[in-house]
Amino acid sequence: MNDQSLTQCLLFPDLFDKPVVARFDQVHSSSDGGAILLKAADRRLGLLARLAGCLRDDRQPGKVDHELAELLTQRIYAIACGYEDANDAARLGDDPVHKMLVGRDPITGNGLASQPTLSRFENGVGPRDLYRMAETLRDVVIERHCRRLHGKARRIKIDFDPTDDPTHGQQQLSFFNGHYDSWCYLPLMGFISFDKEPEQYLVASVLRPGNVHGTAGFFGVLRRLVERLMEAFPRADILVRLDADYATPEVLEFLDDAGLHYVVAMAKNSVLTRHAESLMKKARRLSGASGRTERVYGECRYAARKWNRKRRVIIKAEVTRLEGREPKDNPRFVVTNLTTDPRRVYEKVYCERGDIENRIKELHHGMQIDRTSCSRFLANQFRVLMTAAAYILMQELRLRLARTSCARAQVSTLRERLIKLGVHVVVSVRRIVLHLPASFPFLDIWNHAALSMGARGG
């Protein structure tokens, strides 16, 4: 290496006993050395190859430098590593680790696709391609857990929730939403969980216009999801948990007709408030005597005007007390066809769905799923699906970290601890050697993940 040809930068000459010189001269190096764990996770899932098989390539073969599978792989791994913008491709084109992830030689392989190429790729996907990708993403997740659990889950919980995706440009189908007080899209996110496991696995991510009702697109996604779950887990009890947006006659009739168990939140109204009054009186007495927040549970039979039958409604009569404030009534209602104790239905079944908010926050803040800045709506839906695929790889990695300190770590923490690793890549005739830091503080956890995904000790 010729030191004379390198740019030298003298930083803080008086900060230490000796001047410190920082040189960015380590060729064939990367700051994403741990990303090979994501490659190992995908080998177990087979996700990226199946997603690539959903895409049709209408380009002229003689003018193609980057296959669609390479473009998709490059984009998904970049998102998983924290490079959510296509603009980041300019800085990653010659990164040896990212070239390895795409399947190219880290040293002599051609550079990766540029930002214009990736943008054309994102804007060239059609609605049929996106539909097939969404179906494939769902099927891969279900098949993965069917193998893991040998098809013997006792209860599968399905959680759906909308979220807002603020828009700041001229994106198609961006509308003002009064509830969120912004111009936005309104994506629908679906998750499944098994038995008593805390993890909720992403199975659906549908981008929707910003002015749609919460149930838009819900029935089709849920129907196909339930069909696939019943095929994979024929003996499992399926429980659907939803917020108050879904307490419509159509949704409840669909759930009843499909033979599914459900707990669905309901907005309060004058009739339900009257049913809850005796319980509220008791809660007020208890709270007045204890000086603390108190809650009492009960139930009633209730039918809204457009319902086709009466249904069981769980009532949580709560009086909340906060220091320096007056006591406040806080009645809550959940409609369900479960027959267990009201307290258990509310606290142990319905409230558990609250963790879906943490998964959605991960998607927003850890994976930047709201980076939908393309002008075309379909291109933005494609971005959402690629981000969902990257998140599924991170969830697979987290699943492999059971019984470690990272078993419940946020995806941003997993990225910082296990993916963002400085590495020097050396290629010989027989092998590729990744020289990683000897002082890596999470070495044991990294080794645990690697060994669980097929690595062998050397």
Nearest alpha-carbon partner for 133 in 49, 68, 51 = 51
> Is the pLDDT reported for residue 214 higher than 90?
no
The total number of structural domains that make up the chain: 2
Instruction: Name the strand (E) or helix (H) holding 318.
Output: strand 311-320
The DSSP secondary-structure symbol of 17 reads S
Q: How confident is the model at residue 397 (pLDDT cuts 50, 70, 90)?
A: very high
Strand partners, 301: 312
For residues 9 and 106, membership in a common domain is answered with: yes
Query: Which of 315, 330, 345 is the last residue in one of the domains?
Result: 330
For residues 111 and 21, membership in a common domain is answered with: yes
Examine residue 154 and state whether it is found in any structural domain, yes or no: no
Using only the alpha carbons of the chain, give its radius of gyration.
26
Query: Which of 313, 330, 347 is the last residue in one of the domains?
Result: 330
Q: How confident is the model at residue 354 (pLDDT cuts 50, 70, 90)?
A: confident
pLDDT tens, position by position, 303-312: 998 898 999 9
Q: Which residue in this structure is represented by tokens 């208890």?
A: 286
Query: Which of 291, 314, 330 is the last residue in one of the domains?
Result: 330
> Is the pLDDT reported for residue 201 higher than 70?
yes
pLDDT tens, position by position, 128-177: 999 999 999 999 999 999 999 999 999 999 999 999 999 998 899 999 99
In whole angstroms, what is the distance from residue 245 CA to residue 265 CA? Answer: 8
> Is the pLDDT reported for residue 6 higher than 70?
no
Q: What's the pTM value of the predicted model, to 2 decimals?
A: 0.94
Q: What percent of the chain has pLDDT over 90?
A: 86
Examine residue 367 and state whether it is found in any structural domain, yes or no: no
Q: How confident is the model at residue 58 (pLDDT cuts 50, 70, 90)?
A: confident
Compute the average pLDDT of residues 314-333: 93
Examine residue 297 and state whether it is found in any structural domain, yes or no: yes
Examine residue 42 and state whether it is found in any structural domain, yes or no: yes
Dig out the tokens for 322 from the structure.
């906060």
Compute the average pLDDT of residues 412-436: 95
pLDDT tens, position by position, 242-288: 999 999 999 999 999 999 999 999 999 999 999 999 999 999 999 99
> Is the pLDDT reported for residue 1 higher than 70?
no
| Structural domain boundaries, residue 119 | 3-125+412-452
Examine residue 121 and state whether it is found in any structural domain, yes or no: yes
Q: How confident is the model at residue 10 (pLDDT cuts 50, 70, 90)?
A: low
CB–CB of 252/335 below 8 Å? Answer: yes
- The 10 Å Cβ neighbour count of residue 202 is 25
* DSSP calls for 429-449: SS-EEEE--TT-TTHHHHHHH
Examine residue 426 and state whether it is found in any structural domain, yes or no: yes
Instruction: Report pLDDT for 11.
Output: 73
Examine residue 30 and state whether it is found in any structural domain, yes or no: yes
CB–CB of 419/95 below 8 Å? Answer: no
